[in-house]
Amino acid sequence: MQDTHTAQPAKARWYDGLTPTHWRVLRGGFLGWIFDGFEALALVVVLIPMLKSVLTPEQASSLPVYAGLVIGITLLGWGVGGLVGGIMADYVGRKRMMLWSVFLYALFSGLTAFSNTFVVLCALRFLTGLAMGSEWSTGVALVSETWPEHARAKGAGFLQSGFGWGTLLAAVIWYALASTHPLGAETWRLMFVVGALPAFFVLYLRRGMNESEKWQQAVKEKRWNATSDDSARSAARAGKKDKRPFTLKQLFTEREAFRRTMLTMLLSIVSTTGWWAISSWLPTFTVSLAKATGAADALAWGSRISIIYTAGAIVAYLASGFIVDSMGRRAFLSMTFVGSLLTTIITYQYTHTLGAMVIIAPINGFFTLGCAYAWMAIYPCELFTSTVRSTAISFVFNAARLIAWVFPIISGSMIKTFGGISHAALIMSSCYVLGIVIPWFLPETRGKGMPE
């Protein structure tokens, strides 16, 4: 039977054997993910002025609820688009889906700047999320299938850092815009224009990228098994009929694939719920803290903390590939959610001054945004084969949003009910307990390579 793994001997240095082609593939995925990161945080930092601009006076009295609703709708579009785009990438190729994703994202993100009512805003946020969804899974699949095994986890971590650099860019640009107010109360509209225009440049850069040879070869040889554990049974079926099974169906009909899909999706839900329903409220919580302590320019503290928080996440992204190769996938995941739980409790329960917030925010970002998302770019690729890989990782990454999109809405309602962000965040943080336990029911893949 064919060896389904491609493990390679260790190199003296992690970057030995990397060619300009490897770096070109990484650069293309990295730049696209920068704009996704920009888009995600842009929505958070402009949330309040944006809603004040499009809500009626009656709607504005329930602002936390509408804030949760617009975030939730964006997540829903992101989840649907990511799932559909990930499946299509296993049929038409990673490169083609990446190009379409960036183009449509830029278009709808730019149109968001012209929203004049809450309904129009939500419609455009849904379409933006729909277009943006497949950006991540196609980029991760392409990097994981083209980079050599000894450097793959590091490359995936670097790719994931694009999201961090994008959120940092959004925080810095919003800080500059909020300080100058070039359009007054409508300055928030410029954030979506700024985020959309450079994305067209990525289309030009990605024209020179090559398609994944591993994916092309797997399709040519009609290797339809979803995991290496199911290879013998699937090979027998393939010998009887050449028709390709529907990739998404495979994840639910092959026993081991189903188990891995469900467990990793639960971990993804924990990461997604934690960030969108807990950490995304950090700027607003900081502003209220600044006002309570009488700090000058209280509104600016929201942007400052966003920058510091994101810097912590970027450190985690860049280091994740090295850490996960050192300690193993399962230990890394469990450590991630232990850190997320503890730092969330410290942030919302025991942080009462801006000085303390400056210290805890980057640590919180390291775990809740950095490590909590970095594992998705590394681990799921090692659990599924080339012909279903994009479908699998997009399902893990995006299907969570089809469930977790309601939690920002619930969180917004909880804030209104319990009278504060800290109480809602502490209740929602209990989800991290699941993330600590679940990894130990999954296989350890360190040093084993990716199944083909």
Q: Are 277 and 432 in contact (CB under 8 A)?
A: no
How many CA atoms does the CB half-sphere of 211 hold within 13 Å?
15
Query: What are φ and ψ of residue 371, in 5° steps?
Result: -60, -35
The confidence score (pLDDT) of residue 229 equals 73
Q: Is 222 left (phi over 0), alpha (psi -120 to 50) or beta?
A: left
Per-residue tokens: 409: 């809405």
* 81 within 8 A of 104, measured Cβ to Cβ: no
Tell me the CB-side half-sphere exposure of residue 256, using CA atoms within 13 A.
15
What pLDDT, on the 0 to 100 scale, is given for residue 322? 96
Give the per-residue pLDDT at 9: 54
Tokens representing 220 are 């040519």
CA–centroid distance for 44 within its chain: 15
Please tell me the distance from the alpha carbon of residue 221 to that of residue 387, in angstroms, as a whole number: 10
Burial 367-401 (b: 16+ CB within 10 A, else e): bbbbbbbbbbbbbbbbbbbbbbbbbbbbbbbbbbb
255 secondary structure, DSSP code: H
Whole-number pLDDT of residue 251:
94
Per the CB < 8 A criterion, the answer to whether 276 and 424 are in contact is: no
Q: Are 450 and 6 in contact (CB under 8 A)?
A: yes
pLDDT at 241: 57
Each residue's pLDDT expressed in tens, for the chain with a length of 452 residues: 344 444 555 557 888 889 988 998 898 888 888 888 888 888 888 888 999 999 888 888 888 888 888 888 888 888 888 889 999 999 988 888 888 888 888 889 899 999 999 999 999 999 988 888 888 888 899 899 999 999 999 999 999 999 888 878 887 898 889 888 899 989 999 999 988 876 777 766 666 678 888 899 999 999 999 998 755 455 545 544 578 999 999 999 999 999 999 999 999 999 988 887 777 788 888 988 999 888 888 888 988 898 899 899 999 999 999 999 999 999 999 999 999 999 999 998 899 999 999 999 999 999 999 999 999 999 999 999 999 999 999 999 887 777 766 766 676 676 666 566 777 777 778 899 999 999 999 999 998 888 87
Is 1.20.1250.20 the CATH number for 20-441? yes
Q: What is the pLDDT of residue 127?
A: 92
- DSSP secondary structure code for residue 294 in this structure: T
**How far apart, in whole angstroms, are the C-alpha atoms of residue 216 and residue 372?**
31
What's the DSSP call for residue 197?
T
How far out from the chain centre does Cα 46 lie? Answer: 19
